[in-house]
A and B are shown apart, each in its own frame.
Chain A
Amino acid sequence: MKFPKVRNLRIGGKADAELNEFAQSMKPVSLWADAWKRLRKNKMALGGLYIVAFYVVACLAAPILPIYHYEDQVIAHANLPPSLRPAGEVMLDTRMAYMGKVMKAEARTSFNAKEQAEIQAMKADVAINPQHKRVYVLGTDNLGRDLLSRTLYGGRISIMIGLVGTITATLVGILLGSIAGYAGGRVDNFIMRFVDILYGLPYMLVVIIMMAVFGKNVINLFVAIALVSWLTLARVVRGQVMSLKNAEFVEAARSMGASPARIVFRHLTPNTLGVIVVFATLLVPDFIMSESFLSFLGLGVSAPLASWGSLVSEGTATMELYPWQLLVPAISMTLFLFAMNFLGDGLRDALDPQSKNRA
């Protein structure tokens, strides 16, 4: 419905542009454009965004990258430290270093015949066998599997679980939250009591039980986690919907005959979208942490699949002798979570600089 333009009706008056020469600029800026501008200024958040993007691309592209397969075991190459030199050399060096220690412990100054023979055999093998030309940039694990590859594939699993889980939890949360908020009354009460009760449960423990009882596969894993992750989002959405429900623009829409569904989708949701985006972004690291937690305890992803959590778990067992087996997955995961948290914080600042929803 178009309204006629109201002109200044004074005879001899000035034109609008002249009058408002000094006036506050009325250029409409959409919420998103404004937020993007603010986000760009936040260097940490921007850094987070780039890192996250890099990870997502790298992990998704893993199958097509020129890296060794994550299941590929070369026992001879077990437990090699990270190096840019070919595996053959590293293998030799490690072995010789170990033999040197034995030598010292036995108070000798040179290798005995058996050791020398072994070294010769290894050198010969290295010269012939092309396998020894491999380069393990991030080292190998106890079965000779490339850690770089395992970390990338692990990332794939972890990130996918994080994303898919977050999306599910978000959708459920939005659905239930909007219904509760808009319907109010008994429906609202019922849903919120339900949320309260679930909130009171030590849900991780519940998830552990479910994994133990119903078997450890990825589907169970992420159903179990998703089952309890929608709570906060539902609460937040409900809060937003309730406060907006009575706002004047909703009255206006209603008075123009808009149906409730239309009101919810076209008017309320865009306003709550900002908050939803922020919470969803912060839910991803949560999900990944939960999944890793379970995998660490042996209740998540199982071999031969790897996720960051299971890799860290394996690394913990061997960290005394081979620290990189813990550090590589640990640092990779930590970096990603860092980046996501900075991004989430930045988004929150950008979309609502006076936000009270901080924790």
Chain B
Amino acid sequence: MTRYIIRRFLSLIPTLFLIIVFAFTIERLAPGGPFSSEKKLPPEIMANMLAKYHLDEPWPQQFLRYLGDILHGDLGPSYRYKDFTVNQLIFQALPNSMLLGALALVVAVVLGLGTGIIAALRQNSWVDYATMSLAVIGISVPLFVIGPVIKMVFALQLKWLPTSGWIDGRNGWIVLIMPVITLSFPYFASIARLSRASVLEVLRSDYIRTARAKGLTETTVIFKHVLKGAMLPVISYLGPAFAGIITGTVVVETIFTIPGMGRFYIQAATNRDYTLIMGDVIVFSVILVLMNFVVDVVYGFLDPRISYK
């Protein structure tokens, strides 16, 4: 088991490395640069600025410097917001996105699992059809349609919820409801479908037949025998689900005007603030990669075929 964990951990490194290389390459290759939007600067000043940002050094040297900076946790200065470093900007926005993402994930998992399991146990009943139809909606309708529609219905027409804003002096937790529901919806749908299919498949397996033949009550069969096996595909899915949620924050934050990293990301992309983009990507990737690692480890714990080789 420890070997498994170590192996999984080691595999993180190439991924992260690749991302950093990629970030660096794009930044250097991109047309335009930190100064292209300003007026034409005289050559000496240009040279000075280039030297200041180390942009006049040969690429390999720049890369090593960049790598060193990152390992020290320094993501560089923002090209756009000249007074701030990328670190400052990101860590201002990160907690908001993390809160949004984490809540969305929890809601998706809890509701998804619950719905999926109930649907499987009451297969072909109205509960099954209702929940699975809801799930199909969840995976077919894009986030950027769900969000505005929810906003339109609940905030503009029914006026139950505030249209935008984040938690601060004026708004309490109520502001979270719409963005979290929007963001979690597609993943709730996938998890519901996945867990339903998984439970159904386990119910058909031989070892459940054995359990029934031993005279165990249906409750015991479900909670003790079915659940553990059925959960595994859902756990595996959590990695990609979280990746999707990270991506989704970009849209949801834009629609509900939440000051999070997603919105920053888009603005940075449109503004060509490369260091900010790269910083964002790296932070997102680190989080994602760590999350995948945690998922792998949890999976390893749950499946004895892995932990007891």
Contacts and interface: CB of A to CB of B under 8 A. Distances in A.
Contacts of A337: 140-142
Contacts of B280: 205
Given A293-B251, A342-B136, A213 B30 contact: yes
A64 B11 CA distance: 54
B225 to A, nearest CB: 19
A281 to B, nearest CB: 13
A289 interface: yes
Nearest to B139: A341
Contacts of B198: 358
Interface stretch (B13-21, B166-174, B176-184): B13-21
B152 A309 contact: no
B272 A334 contact: no
Interface in A181-230: 193, 196-197, 199-206, 208-214
B152 A209 contact: no
Contacts of B233: 359
Interface stretch (B51-59, B91-99, B208-216, B262-270): B262-270
B152 A323 contact: yes
Interface in A299-323: 299, 309, 312-313, 315-316, 319-320, 323
B148 A312 contact: yes
Given A200-B288, A208-B269, A213-B30, A316 B136 contact: no
A285 B140 contact: yes
A317 to B, nearest CB: 9
For chain A, the bracket of interface size reads: 35 or more
Nearest to B148: A316
A197 B254 contact: no
28 contacts: A196-B11, A196-B15, A197-B15, A200-B285, A200-B289, A201-B18, A201-B19, A202-B284, A204-B247, A204-B250, A206-B22, A208-B250, A212-B270, A213-B272, A214-B30, A289-B142, A296-B251, A297-B250, A297-B266, A298-B266, A299-B270, A315-B148, A320-B156, A330-B149, A334-B141, A334-B142, A358-B194, A358-B197
**Top 4 A-B pairs ranked by shortest CB distance?**
A212-B269, A204-B247, A337-B140, A358-B197
Contacts of B145: 312, 330, 333-334
